[in-house]
Amino acid sequence: MVKLSLIFSICFLLSSQAVAAESYFDNSSEKFAIGITNATAGWVELPKNVIITGQKEGPIYGASIGVAIGIMHTVGRSLVGVLDAATFFIPTKPSINPPFMWQDFSRETSY
């Protein structure tokens, strides 16, 4: 009986490690993909914020303040993307919401 319970406990411990390893790999690879995408395509924030600001406040405000906000978010998304790609081995949730620019394009980016 003791041997049987020892075998079951070893199998239980190994199965949870396998699940954790798979989850770790999935989370790390997702963070790396999000980081590389945001680092290389962060410039999409510029037209996105011009459009969003223009729709909310008007075209003149969008062309002036929207450009400034877009530049700020472009730099922010690109830098956070580089940081996420560099630290992909620490699987955390995405630092940017939404993680990709094209997800929920009508919503402003939050960090």
Q: What is the pLDDT of residue 19?
A: 47
Residue ranges per structural domain of the chain: 24-111
Residue 27: φ, ψ to 5°: -65, -40
Q: List the beta strands (DSSP E) in the chain.
A: none
Q: From first to last of the 111 residues of the chain, give the pLDDT tens digit.
A: 667 666 655 655 554 444 454 687 888 889 999 999 999 999 999 999 999 999 999 999 999 999 999 999 999 999 999 999 999 888 888 888 898 888 888 888 888
**CA 8 to CA 2: how far, in whole Å?**
10
**CA 42 to CA 15: how far, in whole Å?**
40
78 contacts 38 by C-beta, under 8 angstroms: yes
**CA 71 to CA 64: how far, in whole Å?**
11
pTM of the model as a whole: 0.73
